[in-house]
Structure 1
Amino acid sequence: MDSLPATVASALVEADSAGSETDWPARWQVLTAVSVELQSLLVTDPGPDLVALIEQIVTQLADGVAGSRRHRVELAELAHRVLSTHARACAETAPDPVRLADWLLDLQLQHPDAPDVSLAAYADALDDEGLAHYRERAVTLFEPLPVIGFGETGRYDRARWALLRVMEELAEYSEDVDLQLLVLSKDLSSGWHYLQVATVLRDNGRSEEALDWVERGLRAVGGRGAALRLIDLAVEEHLRRGSPQRAVEVCREAFFARPNLDVYLKIRALVVHTDDWPPLRAELVNHLVQDGTRLAIEVYRRIVEVELARRGVEEQELVVEWLHQLRGLQPDAFADYLEHIKSRHVADRQLLDELSKRGL
């Protein structure tokens, strides 16, 4: 038993040096034989000494992964197999749970590449005391990490990556929503990250916090990226909470921040059958006129198409007025656009007559 670490060390030495490929199959056979021997010892000689021995060999293999270029994958898989043997040995031996927690955490932090630790495999050995210690240490190390702000490039150095992996596994194993949120909120580099946080909060009944994160996300994205999905989540939550007016307000604010046909359609669907729609529609369109940017005018034109499709008398009269305004905003491109409208609605004599009355 005592000779196994030396055997591993000998098999790993200069594994990537020139000419080592010729004897790698023999070295690999030695390493896999050690793994088999450890499994046999688990049956014949379990106890604290075996646990300590396996820990030494896992560490050696993890060092081998970090130092190898050609055989990282094989060594990582072998380290994982030996770690599984370690978990079984701990289940039978019942080591000090706090010491075990420290060893598992140190293994991962000092060897970011391998192996992955499954806390479920150590559930009995860690028990509540060990898991609490593991959680406390991990959180203490993770909390000071800087948040990756919106638009920033992720700073995933090896230390941060190792801590992130530890926290993700811990959050999943413990089903701790606060831990999951702590992990997610460390990376806010895009609107989709804000959406992830808000979705987790919504799914766990924390509606007020979810809406707060939606608002933060919308401020960050400025109408781009994940804006529509953030708006969807906010609308769903406000409607579920019996606050349709707040749902409309979220959409209205988003439309003013960055005009968008999809947002216009959301507002329309929410209030089209109420008395609030005509003045609100006028407010939205007037905002596009006042904005006057290329984006705003494009949205203006698409809204014209949407309202024309309704084919009501009121909509047609309104659209004709909008087209009249559009002529002043886009005098150079308006003639072609008007011909496009007329050709698409050539059978609508009422619309064509109304356009003719207005000199269009």
Structure 2
Amino acid sequence: MDSLPATVASALVEGEGEPGGEPGGELGWPARWQALTAVSVELQSLLVTDPGPRLVALIEQIVTQLADGVATSRRHRVELAELAHRVLSTHARACAQTRPEPVRLADWLLDLQLEHPDAPDVSLSAYAAALDDDGLARYRERAVALFEPLPVIGFGQTGRYDRARWALLRVMEELAEYTEDVDLQLLVLSKDLSSGWHYLQVATVLRDNGRSDEALQWVERGLRAVGGRGAALRLIDLAVEEHLRRGAPQQAVQVCREAFFARPNLDLYLKARALVVHTDEWPPLRAELVHHLVQDGGRLAVEVYRRIVEVELARRGIEEQELLVEWLAQLRGLQPDAFADYLDHIKSRHVADRELLDELARRGF
């Protein structure tokens, strides 16, 4: 048993003559790999014949050696990482039998991952019995204390995932999943707000766990960050669904209205339309949205305006021909050079609608 760490140390020295190898090794990789796998098999045998604290300590020493080997090897990182994972699994079984001091075990598991970012992933479920409540509490306390001070990656920034941050993130994700702790999951997610989709993730977790007010707050934060782009529509969908679930349809309409004013979009118009089209609220809201486009007068606003006209015509949502013609008159003022082609497009799509064509002719179109 005592000779196993020396065997591992010798086998981890890259031999002369190997591509990329370091001087000093006497064996080629196949022989050294055979020696390493033999150590792994021997540890599993000792788990049956000689379990106890001494074996746990021995395995921890060898896992650390292998983790160091993964970090320094240039040609055999994958094989060494897989072997380290197998030896760590043996360690988990040894701990389940021996029940080492849980706080010490928690510290070792955490240090292994933080000091060796390329170390094998630690599955907390494999250590559930050995860690016990005290060990898990220690593991969580230290992990959170290290993770909380990490800077938040702000909207539009590039993620700064150095090896230390990546190792901590991996620890926290596993801890949140194992404990099923929503606050831990939110802590992890809220450290990266580089895009609107990250805001959406946080809001979705809050919504799914019955924390509606917080979810809507994160939607508002996300919408301010994205400025109507990216995940904006998905954020709005979540807010609308949540307001409707809460029996607050007016708030759902208001979300669509404010988002439309911030960045006009046909989808937002249609969302608002679907919410109130069969109520007395729709005509004034529709007029307000269209008036905003006229006041804006920009290329995007005009394009949205044109698409709204076509949608309303296709759905026969506008029964008053005079109102539609008035919209066309406003479009002509906004886009005089392109209006003739657009009017021809409208006429060709509605060639069978004599009432519309007659009204257009009467109004000089």
Could you tell me the TM-score, scaled by structure 2's length? 0.97
2:46 maps to which residue?
41
1:9 maps to which residue?
9
- What is the CA–CA distance in structure 2 between the aligned matches of 1:295 and 1:38, rounded to whole Å? 68
* Paired residues of 1:261 and 1:299 also in contact (CA < 8 A): yes
1:310-330 Cα shifts (integer Å, max 9, x gaps): 336625332211001000000
1:157 maps to which residue?
162
The alignment status of 1:101 with 2:106, answered yes or no, reads: yes
1:78 maps to which residue?
83
User: How many Å apart are 1:113 and its aligned residue?
Assistant: 1.3
The alignment status of 1:349 with 2:348, answered yes or no, reads: no
Gaps of 5+ in 2: none
- What is the CA–CA distance in structure 2 between the aligned matches of 1:300 and 1:246, rounded to whole Å? 24
User: How many Å apart are 1:114 and its aligned residue?
Assistant: 2.0
Q: Does the C-alpha gap of structure 1 residues 17 and 331 become closer, same or farther in structure 2, counting only changes over 3 Å?
A: same
Q: In structure 1, what residue type is equivalent to 2:90?
A: T
* Paired residues of 1:9 and 1:60 also in contact (CA < 8 A): yes
Q: Does the C-alpha gap of structure 1 residues 288 and 29 become closer, same or farther in structure 2, counting only changes over 3 Å?
A: same
- What is the CA–CA distance in structure 1 between the aligned matches of 2:232 and 2:116, rounded to whole Å? 39
The alignment status of 1:59 with 2:64, answered yes or no, reads: yes
- What is the CA–CA distance in structure 1 between the aligned matches of 2:27 and 2:48, rounded to whole Å? 35
Q: Within 5 Å, which residues of 2 pair with 1:138-287?
A: 138-287=143-292
* Paired residues of 2:200 and 2:235 also in contact (CA < 8 A): yes
1:143-162 Cα shifts (integer Å, max 9, x gaps): 00000000000000000000
1:293-334 Cα shifts (integer Å, max 9, x gaps): 111110000000011113366253322110010000000000
1:123-163 Cα shifts (integer Å, max 9, x gaps): 00000000000000000000000000000000000000000
User: How many Å apart are 1:18 and its aligned residue?
Assistant: 5.7
Identity among equivalent positions (%) equals 89
Q: In structure 2, what residue type is equivalent to 1:98?
A: V
Alignment equivalent of 2:306, drawn from 301, 308, 322? 301
User: How many Å apart are 1:342 and its aligned residue?
Assistant: 0.5
Point out the more displaced range, 139-148 or 319-328.
319-328
Q: In structure 1, what residue type is equivalent to 2:49?
A: T
2:116 maps to which residue?
111
1:190-224 Cα shifts (integer Å, max 9, x gaps): 00000000000000000010000001000100100
Q: In structure 2, what residue type is equivalent to 1:150?
A: F
1:310 maps to which residue?
315
- What is the CA–CA distance in structure 2 between the aligned matches of 1:94 and 1:289, rounded to whole Å? 74
Query: Does the residue aligned with 2:28 lie in a helix, a strand or coil?
Result: helix
- What is the CA–CA distance in structure 2 between the aligned matches of 1:256 and 1:247, rounded to whole Å? 15
- What is the CA–CA distance in structure 1 between the aligned matches of 2:313 and 2:224, rounded to whole Å? 33
Gaps of 5+ in 1: none
1:28 maps to which residue?
33
Query: Does the residue aligned with 1:314 lie in a helix, a strand or coil?
Result: coil
Query: Does the residue aligned with 2:319 lie in a helix, a strand or coil?
Result: helix
Point out the more displaced range, 137-146 or 20-29.
20-29
Q: Within 5 Å, which residues of 2 pair with 1:126-137?
A: 126-137=131-142
The alignment status of 1:329 with 2:364, answered yes or no, reads: no
- What is the CA–CA distance in structure 1 between the aligned matches of 2:316 and 2:180, rounded to whole Å? 53
Q: Does the C-alpha gap of structure 1 residues 50 and 297 become closer, same or farther in structure 2, counting only changes over 3 Å?
A: same
Could you tell me the TM-score, scaled by structure 1's length? 0.98
